[in-house]
Chains A and B, each alone.
Chain A
C-alpha cells in the first residue's frame, strides 16, 4: 500500500450537521460522509441490501442504520452489524483540516474482500 494519500477537498465541516450524513459524488463514486463528535467518517452511499441511501440513515454511536430496511453498518469498518449474513460497504479515509473535510477516494477499503483475499 502506498504511503501517499490522494486527498480530495470535499466541503466545509459545518455543511454537515452533527450526527448526520450527506451524500457527495466524486469521480463517479457516491459516498456518504458522516459528522461525528470530533471527526468525520465516509462510506459508500449504497446499502448492499437494496441500494438504500445510507447518508439518510440515523447515526447511533459509530454506526448508521439504512433508512429503507434498517440494515446497520459500522462507519469505521464498513461491516454490517448484527446482520444474519456478513456484508459490508467500502470505507474511505478522511481527515479534517482547517474546517475542511478531505476524503481519499483511492484509499477505499472493503473488509470483506480483504478477508476473502
Chain B
C-alpha cells in the first residue's frame, strides 16, 4: 500500500523537493496543492517577464505533462485552509479533505504590505506572483507614472521592468541606502547612481505616510509632507513567511515554521521546506539554500535520514542587465576584530569591500565588477586562511588556464543560482549523459536556463570536462545587446524604440559595434516599416554612400535595370559615364546588370546624375534584382511572360531592405534559363500556372528552392511573392539568407503562415509591406540632397598654414 504524500505549495522549493524524491526509490502517492492556478514556474524570473525579456511560458519549470508522467495529482488554484494533525488530513477552502501519511508544508512567503492608509486603493499592486506580474503588464504603458515603494532587490527589479515598458518610474525607499540589507552606504551610492543613469528616479530616505486618490490611487504623501504623483503603485517592501497554516495547526512557529537540520517540524509526520521555514533562527529568501533544503528533506522523507541542512550565509545578486551587484555574508563591520578592505573607482563605477576577521573572509560587497564572486564565496565558505593573499585580496589572481579556474571551484558550489544547480551536479550530468553542448546541459540540469549570468561558467565547465564540447551557435545578437532577435523585435515594438542609440542605451552597452549596429538598423527599419530614426553612423559604409566599397577604397556602381532589360539610350549613357570618369572596368554581372568599378566617393553623385538611372542596390542587404529570361516575348518555348512578370516583381519590391541580400529570378518555362530555382525567390512559368519557389541558392551554398505554392495567375504569383518576402523580412535573423531561413523554419510552417494563412493575417503582412514600400525610395536621390554636407564630399582643410598657439585643452596627445 502506497503512502500518501501531500505537498502544500507548488512553488520552487516544494516542487524541487518532489523532484529530488522522484530521483530516489520511494513508495509515495503524491498530491501537490498550489493556490496559484499555474504549473510550477521560476519565480525568480518574474522580473524578466515584467521587462519583456522572457514570456510566461519560458519560465515554466515543470509543465503539466511532468505531473502526469510522474503520476502526481496537481490540485492547482486550491488553497489549503487547515491541517488536522490528529486525523492526518488537510482541508481546502471548499471543505475538501485529503488524507496524508506525510505532509510537506512549502507554502512560501507573501509580500509584506506595510500598514499605510490607502494601500487598498485601486492600482496599488504587489509583485510576487505570475498573476501579479500579468496585472502589472496590463497596466504598464509608456508615460504611466509609477511609484515603487521599496528599494530592495525586488523593488529595483520591478522598477526596471516597468521602466523598460516606458513607464516613468520612481523608487521610494525608507532607508538612506538602496538594498540596505545587502549594501553599505558607499555601495548604495554607487547603485543609486547606476539606477538613476538608467532613467529611474530614486527618492531616499522617504517614508510613505499615505496613498491618496479617490478610489484609484493618485499619488503618495510622505511623512515629510512632500507628495509624489503616481498612476500606479507597486509595493515591494519585503516578504513574510507564510507560516499561518503551521501556526494554526499548533506546530512550533516563530517567524517561520521551525525545522531542524533534517527539515522535520515539531510533528513527526510533517516536514517543511522553503521560505516558510525557520532554521536555527534564520529564514531564507534565496533559491540556493531552499533547493539544498529540498535535497535534505528528500533524503529524510524517503527513509535515508542522514544528510543535514546546516544553513547558508546570505548571498544576493541583482538581476538587472548592466547593473552588477553581489553581496554575501556579514556586512556588519562593527564587530570586534573585523577589518575591512576597500577599493573604488568612481569613473568605472566599481566598488569592492571585503570584511575579514582573523584573516578569514566574513562577507563582501561587490558593485560594478562581480567577476571574482566564486573565488570569494569559496574563501568564505571554506574559511580559507587569507594570509598569503593579503596583497591581492581585491584582485585575486586568476588562473591563466580557464580549465584550472573551474577545476578549482568546489563541487558543492552553486553555479546556477536561479535553479540551484551545483558544480557537482553539472559535472556528474556531463559524464552520466555524455553531454557535449550547452543545450544538452540545460536540458539535463536546467543550469543557465534562467537569467543567463552563469552561461559563461557553464561553457567553461563543459570545455574543461568534456573533450567533445561543441560551442553553440550564438542565438543572441552580440555581447553589446545580449538578446535574441525575437526579444529585440519585441523590445523595439513594445518600448517604441526608434533609433539604434535608444536600443543601445536602454538594452545595450551604450556603444554598439560593427555587428550589432547594422543589425539594429535593419530591425528598426523593418519593425517601423521605414518610419524609424535613421542613423547613418550605425550603417556600414556601403549604406552611407549607396555603393559597394572595393579593396582600394573606391566604389562600384550598378544601376537598376529591371528584369535585366535595358535600352540603347541607357547603354549609351553608361558608356559615356565610363569614358567621362575613366572607369577602370565595366563588367557584366551574374545578375544581368552592368557594373562600373573603381569610382571615387566624391564622384558618386555626378556619376548617378549622368547615368539618370536608379540605384540597383547591389551594395546592400536588400532587394538586389530580378533576373529574367525572354519568355513568351521572343522565345519559342516560353509559356509565360517572364520578362513582364520579372519587371513587375522588381518594381514591387525594389528599394526595400532585407535581412541579407535578396535575389530573384523569373523564367517563362521549366527550362529555367534564368535559374529561378536557385534564387531566394523564383517564379517558374508553366503552361497555365506559375510555381513560386523560395530559399534557393547558388553561391557559397547551393540549394534548390522549395515550392511555396502553384497559382494560376501572374497576379497571384506576385502576391505569394510579397507574402514570403515580408515574412522573411519579419522573421529571419539579420544576415540569415533565405535558404538558411527556409531550412530553419521548414517550408510547411512558412506555407502555413504565408500563402495558407488566414486572410486577415495575410492582409496584415501585405499592409506592412505596403507601408514600408510607401516610404522606400531610390537611395541615389541623396546624390542631389545629401544627408550631411560631407556625405560624399572630401573635406578641404580651412587653412593650410599652421598657427602657433600655446597648448591648452589638448584633447588627445
A27 to B799, CA, bound (A): 11
Closest chain-A Cβ to B265's Cβ sits at a distance in Å of: 57
Interchain CB contact under 8 A, A68 and B797: no
A22 to B808, CA, bound (A): 24
| A1-53 with Cβ < 8 A to chain B | 3-11, 14-20, 22-27, 33, 39-42, 50-53
B420 within 8 A of A: no
Residue from A24, A56, A105, A109 with most neighbouring chain B CB atoms (10 Å) = A56
B795 within 8 A of A: yes
Residue from B517, B551, B795, B802 with most neighbouring chain A CB atoms (10 Å) = B795
Interchain CB contact under 8 A, A65 and B513: yes
Interchain CB contact under 8 A, A95 and B549: no
Interchain CB contact under 8 A, A94 and B551: no
Interchain CB contact under 8 A, B810 and A5: yes
A35 to B602, CA, bound (A): 20
Contact of A8 among B513, B544, B800 (CB under 8 A): B800
Q: Which residues of A contact B807 (CB under 8 A)?
A: 3-5
Residue from A18, A60, A93 with most neighbouring chain B CB atoms (10 Å) = A60
B219 within 8 A of A: no
**Chain B residues in the interface with A (C-beta under 8 A):** 480, 511-514, 517-518, 535-541, 544, 549, 551-553, 788-790, 794-800, 802-813
Interchain CB contact under 8 A, B805 and A7: yes
9 pairs, CB–CB < 8 Å, chain A vs chain B: A3-B806, A6-B804, A11-B795, A25-B797, A41-B812, A53-B549, A58-B539, A60-B480, A94-B811
Please judge, given known A-B contacts A7-B805, A39-B811, whether A67 and B540 are in contact too, CB under 8 Å. yes
How many A-B residue pairs have C-beta atoms within 8 angstroms? Tell me: 126
A80 within 8 A of B: no
Interchain CB contact under 8 A, B794 and A24: yes
Interchain CB contact under 8 A, B514 and A65: yes
Interchain CB contact under 8 A, A9 and B799: yes
New contact pairs (9) apart from A11-B797, A93-B811, CB-CB < 8 Å: A5-B804, A7-B805, A16-B795, A17-B537, A39-B812, A41-B812, A51-B552, A57-B514, A58-B514
Closest chain-A Cβ to B776's Cβ sits at a distance in Å of: 22
A24 to B796, CA, bound (A): 6
Residue from B536, B538, B802 with most neighbouring chain A CB atoms (10 Å) = B802
8 closest residue pairs by CB, A with B: A19-B537, A56-B541, A61-B511, A6-B802, A60-B513, A9-B799, A58-B514, A65-B514
| A58-78 with Cβ < 8 A to chain B | 58-61, 65, 67-68, 70, 76
A109 to B813, CA, bound (A): 8
Closest chain-A Cβ to B797's Cβ sits at a distance in Å of: 5
Contact of A5 among B512, B517, B537, B805 (CB under 8 A): B805
Please judge, given known A-B contacts A8-B799, A18-B537, whether A93 and B513 are in contact too, CB under 8 Å. no
Q: Which residues of B contact A50 (CB under 8 A)?
A: 551
**Chain A residues in the interface with B (C-beta under 8 A):** 3-11, 14-20, 22-27, 33, 39-42, 50-53, 56-61, 65, 67-68, 70, 76, 91-97, 100, 105-107, 109
A92 to B812, CA, bound (A): 7
Contact of A93 among B535, B802, B813 (CB under 8 A): B813
Interchain CB contact under 8 A, A15 and B540: no
A71 to B536, CA, bound (A): 20
Interchain CB contact under 8 A, A68 and B549: yes
Q: Which residues of B contact A100 (CB under 8 A)?
A: 798
Closest chain-B Cβ to A13's Cβ sits at a distance in Å of: 12
Closest chain-A Cβ to B144's Cβ sits at a distance in Å of: 31
A87 to B82, CA, bound (A): 74
Residue from B511, B513, B536, B553 with most neighbouring chain A CB atoms (10 Å) = B553
Closest chain-B Cβ to A34's Cβ sits at a distance in Å of: 10
Q: Which residues of B contact A27 (CB under 8 A)?
A: 800
A106 to B511, CA, bound (A): 31
A6 to B809, CA, bound (A): 14
Closest chain-B Cβ to A98's Cβ sits at a distance in Å of: 12
Q: Which residues of A contact B535 (CB under 8 A)?
A: 19
Q: Which residues of A contact B551 (CB under 8 A)?
A: 50, 68
Q: Which residues of B contact A94 (CB under 8 A)?
A: 811-812
Which residue on A lies nearest to B794, using beta carbons? Answer: A23
A17 to B538, CA, bound (A): 11
Interchain CB contact under 8 A, B790 and A26: no
Contact of A4 among B513, B540, B806, B811 (CB under 8 A): B806
Interchain CB contact under 8 A, B812 and A91: yes
A8 to B537, CA, bound (A): 26
Contact of A16 among B790, B794, B802, B805 (CB under 8 A): B790
Interchain CB contact under 8 A, B812 and A58: no
Interchain CB contact under 8 A, A10 and B797: yes
Residue from B480, B538, B794, B797 with most neighbouring chain A CB atoms (10 Å) = B797
Q: Which residues of B contact A76 (CB under 8 A)?
A: 812
Closest chain-B Cβ to A97's Cβ sits at a distance in Å of: 7
Which residue on A lies nearest to B480, using beta carbons? Answer: A60
Closest chain-B Cβ to A109's Cβ sits at a distance in Å of: 8
A67 to B549, CA, bound (A): 8
Q: Which residues of A contact B480 (CB under 8 A)?
A: 60
A19 to B535, CA, bound (A): 10
Interchain CB contact under 8 A, B797 and A60: no
Q: Which residues of B contact A9 (CB under 8 A)?
A: 797-799, 803
Closest chain-B Cβ to A100's Cβ sits at a distance in Å of: 7
Contact of B809 among A23, A52, A97 (CB under 8 A): A97
Interchain CB contact under 8 A, A58 and B536: no
Closest chain-A Cβ to B536's Cβ sits at a distance in Å of: 7
Q: Which residues of A contact B539 (CB under 8 A)?
A: 58
Which residue on B lies nearest to A15, using beta carbons? Answer: B790
Interchain CB contact under 8 A, B514 and A60: yes
Which residue on A lies nearest to B537, using beta carbons? Answer: A19
A105 to B811, CA, bound (A): 14
Interchain CB contact under 8 A, A20 and B536: yes
Please judge, given known A-B contacts A24-B796, A65-B513, A100-B798, whether A58 and B790 are in contact too, CB under 8 Å. no
Q: Which residues of A contact B805 (CB under 8 A)?
A: 4-5, 7
A71 to B514, CA, bound (A): 11
A58 to B480, CA, bound (A): 14
Interchain CB contact under 8 A, B549 and A56: yes
Interchain CB contact under 8 A, A56 and B512: no
Which residue on B lies nearest to A1, using beta carbons? Answer: B813
Q: Which residues of B contact A41 (CB under 8 A)?
A: 811-812
Interchain CB contact under 8 A, A58 and B517: yes
Interchain CB contact under 8 A, A22 and B802: no
Please judge, given known A-B contacts A60-B513, A93-B812, whether A20 and B537 are in contact too, CB under 8 Å. yes
A92 to B813, CA, bound (A): 7
Closest chain-B Cβ to A53's Cβ sits at a distance in Å of: 4
A105 to B797, CA, bound (A): 12
Closest chain-A Cβ to B501's Cβ sits at a distance in Å of: 9
A63 to B739, CA, bound (A): 34
Which residue on B lies nearest to A60, using beta carbons? Answer: B513
Which residue on B lies nearest to A93, using beta carbons? Answer: B813
A33 to B798, CA, bound (A): 14
Interchain CB contact under 8 A, A10 and B806: no
Interchain CB contact under 8 A, B553 and A53: yes
Q: Which residues of A contact B813 (CB under 8 A)?
A: 93, 107, 109
A76 to B517, CA, bound (A): 21
A70 to B514, CA, bound (A): 8
Closest chain-A Cβ to B735's Cβ sits at a distance in Å of: 14
Closest chain-A Cβ to B801's Cβ sits at a distance in Å of: 8
Which residue on A lies nearest to B804, using beta carbons? Answer: A4
Interchain CB contact under 8 A, A95 and B809: yes
Contact of A52 among B518, B540, B553, B794 (CB under 8 A): B553
Closest chain-A Cβ to B805's Cβ sits at a distance in Å of: 6
A67 to B511, CA, bound (A): 18
Q: Which residues of B contact A97 (CB under 8 A)?
A: 809
Please judge, given known A-B contacts A6-B804, A8-B799, whether A58 and B549 are in contact too, CB under 8 Å. no
Interchain CB contact under 8 A, B514 and A17: no
A6 to B252, CA, bound (A): 83
Closest chain-A Cβ to B538's Cβ sits at a distance in Å of: 7
Interchain CB contact under 8 A, B537 and A23: no
Interchain CB contact under 8 A, A58 and B538: yes
Q: Which residues of A contact B552 (CB under 8 A)?
A: 51
Contact of B789 among A15, A33, A68, A105 (CB under 8 A): A15
